[in-house]
Chains A and B, each alone.
Chain A
């Protein structure tokens, strides 16, 4: 049950996108998402959809994994689509009930919005499927490093370290939570029935031991890190250095062509 939570959902493969520098991937993903939102008309958005489809194909990640991510946000998707259905102006009126009216413009709006969200999720899924969590945090640290010039010297490294540790401990905590749940069930705890209030109350015997054990783990980890002379990011060298290579320029060029395509279609049509 708890194991279904996917996090750090890296998919092992050796595609072009897997080999791309994670820093480049983050920057390009943000860029593409911005441009997807800049797409004004249906043609530009369809062009973006085609491009995102290509990117997903190049990633060599099975399509069902993308669909799985899509399922998780399905409620949000439906909600947005339904709300937008009533906000369209223009077009023929198809249905009118009380003060609500559905027009062709509304349907257009709703499809447009939904497609945008789908593309957004696809893009971020591409990033998380093709990049290991550790690479991601390293890349974020590297990208945020200019902040040290504005007086945030240690903060960037600390933040990246916190993210790394948090990601590392998610599976551990899930395992721990399962153990504690079983132990409390063995003592007759009822986690499955009752109303909302009862269910929330039933979580206390699980959350408190979990909290205590994470604090204990934090102390242990801090001690272990100190024993290995950890003193923050200062003077830290890396075994795996990140370098921009030809692949990164190739991928960047492709992304820029995509952005340009969206702008051109925006203007022309």
Chain B
């Protein structure tokens, strides 16, 4: 039998932001579906707060509210008549009701920047980016301690992407939740992630800080991935003989490095 995912073993600390990268079909989505018990591992265990999530199979729905999972294109799962009702679906399944439920929804909405008047609108009247935000709010409303995103910015314009990334970091600041993001954007990963998991053909090949992961550009290219564009530009500069650091992964780091270089040149 073919294993979709194998040899995957890692620990994630509370409050960390973890990025998962890998080529299409490398098992990223399968991996994250194990984290909240949508899939049951045929071998091995998934531990959450030192307990096997499958220890009590009947309680798996409780695990799903503690470990939230936002699927790709989550806006396609909207179904309620109003934005409010759709965000309330998750918390309602957890057993919240009445005032508690209402507070939960309005808090989440304000955290994510959904205006009050939007709550009574139909989710199907919203724009693509707004729908995505409402759908993400639907998972965040359960207040998961770990929240997993499968390509949260796929199919959005640059502004939409920025908004979604902001929501994710806002949620983390507000709740100190652990965040796991699958992404194809090396730039986003470099800017956000504390550590990065690199998957290839269903196996975990690297699990390290962005600096160390992006330092092995050759190995990444071999498995169909790449380093951030700025890192490539700086590698080109180094090849031309410009003395810049190889550890430049984000635009702000690049600006800093260039300013330093210019000042250094002026001093000399």
Measured CB to CB, the residues of A under 8 A from B are: 179-180, 182-190, 204-205, 208-209, 212-213
Interface of A is mostly: helix
- Chain B residue with Cβ nearest A182: B38
Which residues of chain B are within 8 angstroms of A189 by Cβ–Cβ distance?
Answer: 89, 93
Contact among A184, A188, A204 with B77 in the assembled complex (CB-CB below 8 Å)? A184
Q: Which chain A residues lie closer than 8 Å to B33 at the CB level?
A: 182
* From A180, A182, A187, A213, contact of B89 by CB (8 A): A187
Asked if B78 contacts A209 (CB within 8 A), the reply is yes
Provide a sorted-by-A list of 13 A–B residue pairs whose CB atoms are within 8 angstroms: A182-B33, A183-B71, A183-B74, A183-B76, A186-B36, A186-B70, A188-B61, A188-B64, A188-B142, A189-B93, A190-B61, A205-B77, A212-B79
Task: For the complex formed, measure the closest distance between the CB of B84 and the CB atoms of chain A, giving whole angstroms.
Answer: 15
| Contacting pair A188 B124 (CB below 8 A) | no
- The answer on a CB contact under 8 Å between B64 and A185 is yes
Please, which residues of chain B bring their CB within 8 A of the CB of A180? 76-77
What are the 8 closest A-B residue pairs judged by CB atoms, nearest first?
A188-B93, A208-B79, A183-B77, A187-B90, A186-B69, A183-B71, A205-B79, A209-B79
Any chain A CB within 8 A of the CB of B138? Answer: yes
Instruction: Report the bound CA distance from A174 to B66 in whole Å.
Output: 28
Question: A213–B94 Cα gap in the complex (Å)?
Answer: 27
Given contacts A188-B65, A212-B79, 4 further A-B contacts (CB under 8 A): A183-B74, A184-B89, A189-B89, A213-B76
Q: Which of A183, A186, A190, A213 has the most C-beta atoms of chain B within 10 angstroms of its own C-beta?
A: A186
Interface residues of B (CB under 8 A from A): 33, 36, 38, 61, 64-65, 68-71, 74, 76-79, 89-90, 93-94, 124, 138-139, 142
Question: Which residues of chain B are within 8 angstroms of A204 by Cβ–Cβ distance?
Answer: 79
Report yes or no: B89 in contact with A205, Cβ–Cβ below 8 A: yes
**In the complex, A190 Cα to B76 Cα: how many Å?**
19
B51 nearest CB across to chain A (Å): 19
Contact B64 A186, beta carbon cutoff 8 Å: yes
Q: Which residues of A contact B76 (CB under 8 A)?
A: 179-180, 183, 209, 212-213
Main secondary structure of the interface of B (DSSP, over half): helix
Also in contact, A187 and B38, with CB within 8 A (given A180-B76, A180-B77, A204-B79):
no
CB proximity of A174 to chain B, nearest CB, Å = 15
A212–B124 contact, CB under 8 A?
yes
**Which residues of the other chain, A, contact B79 by a CB distance below 8 angstroms?**
204-205, 208-209, 212
CA distance A204 to B38 in the complex (A): 20
User: Given A182-B33, A182-B71, A209-B76, is A187 in contact with B138 using a C-beta cutoff of 8 Å?
Assistant: yes
Q: Is the CB of B71 within 8 A of A188?
A: no
Which B residues touch A186, using CB under 8 A? Answer: 36, 38, 64, 68-71, 139
CB distance from B3 to the nearest CB of A (A): 19
Q: Within 8 Å CB of A212, what residues of B? A: 76, 79, 124
CB distance from B6 to the nearest CB of A (A): 21
**What residues of A have a CB within 8 angstroms of the CB of B61 in the complex?**
188, 190
Instruction: Determine how close the nearest CB of chain B comes to the CB of A198; give it in whole angstroms.
Output: 12
Which residue of the partner chain B has the closest CB to A184? B77
Contact of B142 (CB < 8 Å), options: A179, A185, A187, A205: A187
**How far apart sit A238 and B225, CA to CA, in the bound complex (Å)?**
43
Q: In the complex, A190→B95 CA distance in Å?
A: 12
Q: Which residues of B contact A213 (CB under 8 A)?
A: 76
| Distance of B139 from chain A, by nearest CB (Å) | 6
A190 and chain B: residue at smallest CB distance: B61
**Nearest B residue (CB) for A179:** B71
Nearest neighbor of B124 in chain A, beta-carbon distance: A212
- Rounded to whole angstroms, the CA-CA distance of A204 and B76 in the bound complex is 14
What residue in chain B is nearest A180 (Cβ atoms)?
Answer: B77
Residues of B within 8 A of A205 (CB): 77, 79, 89
| A185 cross-chain contacts in B, Cβ below 8 A | 38, 64
Contact of A188 among B70, B78, B94 (CB under 8 A): B94
- CB A50 to nearest CB in B, in angstroms, measures 41
Min CB distance, B57 to chain A, in Å?
A: 11
Q: B77 contacts which chain A residues (CB < 8 A)?
A: 180, 183-184, 187, 205, 209
Q: Which residues of A contact B94 (CB under 8 A)?
A: 188
Please measure, in the bound complex, the distance between the C-alpha atom of A187 and the C-alpha atom of B138, giving whole angstroms.
8
Chain A residues with CB under 8 A of B138 = 187
Closest Cβ–Cβ distance, residue A193 to chain B (whole Å): 9
Q: Which residue of A lies closest to B71 (CB)?
A: A183
Q: Given the complex of chains A and B, what is the CA–CA distance between A212 and B93 in angstroms?
A: 23
CB nearest neighbor in B for A206: B79
Chain B residues whose C-beta falls within 8 Å of the C-beta of A182 in the assembled complex:
33, 38, 71
For residue A167, give the distance in angstroms from its CB to the closest CB of chain B: 23
